[in-house]
């Protein structure tokens, strides 16, 4: 209930419930009898017996912190874990995006891939779009992630293609994108489609909807877009989350420098 009020996604709520259930089974205690050592033992159990990464352990601890806060028990917040190093987001080059779109031969699929890249939408946000949402060059996105609504923009060509796709449909379903069964398309299907077309395009990177989101942000930054604007378009609550893309462009500049400058070859 508390997580729903905080605007957490259904997937997050499901994962938290799974973690709490497993933890309570592990301790075989009622919440009021659990102590810090029980939580630490569970973290060690995850690491040694389940081969969990530090990132996974952090995720489990966050779930337990939420649970015990709700129970008004102050134990999980006291446990410290090492800081996680954030890997740089993976993204496609402009040329790879071009090839990916060229190899996407179905109108619906081309529309959804272009829309992900054009707007930086999360796949869950794309799935929830309705036909009526695409009326102008902007979309009001109602996000399930922290309830941070925002406005994103669609380029004219993508908007034109989507209008064509909608006009060819012969149904009264309000969903923007439909599956082959005539139902609202699922995130899993979109992930599968992108994987299929990226393989067809000969792209060796692991491509996903989130990689298209990263590509949107990276290319916007490379095009000298203000990072605060990119933050708003992505729906980030914290500028620090968006600033990771500056590290990507810094790395690319270093590679260009190393390749082009004569002194770097000495």
Active site residues: 122, 145, 210, 213, 236, 245
End-to-end CA distance of the chain: give it in Å, rounded: 62
Q: Do residues 138 and 151 lie in contact, with contact meaning Cβ atoms separated by under 8 Å?
A: yes
Q: Do residues 187 and 209 lie in contact, with contact meaning Cβ atoms separated by under 8 Å?
A: yes
> Cα 129 from chain centroid?
16
Distance CA 39, CA 1 (A): 23
Q: Residue 152 phi/psi, 5° resolution?
A: -120, 165
């Amino acid at each position: 209930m508390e997580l729903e009020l905080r605007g957490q996604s259904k997937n997050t709520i499901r994962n938290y419930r799974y973690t709490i259930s497993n933890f309570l089974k592990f301790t075989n205690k009622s919440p009021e009898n659990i102590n810090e050592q029980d939580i630490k033992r569970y973290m060690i159990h995850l690491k040694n017996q389940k081969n969990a990464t530090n990132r996974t352990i952090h995720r489990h601890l966050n779930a337990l912190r939420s649970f015990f806060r709700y129970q008004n028990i102050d134990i999980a917040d006291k446990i410290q874990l090492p800081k996680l190093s954030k890997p740089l987001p993976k993204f496609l080059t402009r040329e790879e995006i071009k090839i990916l779109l060229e190899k996407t031969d179905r109108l619906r699929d081309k529309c959804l891939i272009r829309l992900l890249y054009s707007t930086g939408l999360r796949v869950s946000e794309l799935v929830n779009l309705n036909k009526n949402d695409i009326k102008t060059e902007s979309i009001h996105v109602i996000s399930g992630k922290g309830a941070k609504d925002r406005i994103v923009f669609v380029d004219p060509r993508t908007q034109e293609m989507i209008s064509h796709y909608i006009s060819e449909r012969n149904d009264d379903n309000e969903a923007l994108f439909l599956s082959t069964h005539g139902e609202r398309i699922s995130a899993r299907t979109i992930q599968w489609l992108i994987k299929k077309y990226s393989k067809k395009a000969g792209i060796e990177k692991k491509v996903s909807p989130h990689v298209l989101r990263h590509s949107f942000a990276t290319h916007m930054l490379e095009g000298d877009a203000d990072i605060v604007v990119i933050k708003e378009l992505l729906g980030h609550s914290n500028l620090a989350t968006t600033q990771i893309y500056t590290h990507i462009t810094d790395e690319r500049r270093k590679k260009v420098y190393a390749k082009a400058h004569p002194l770097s070859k000495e």
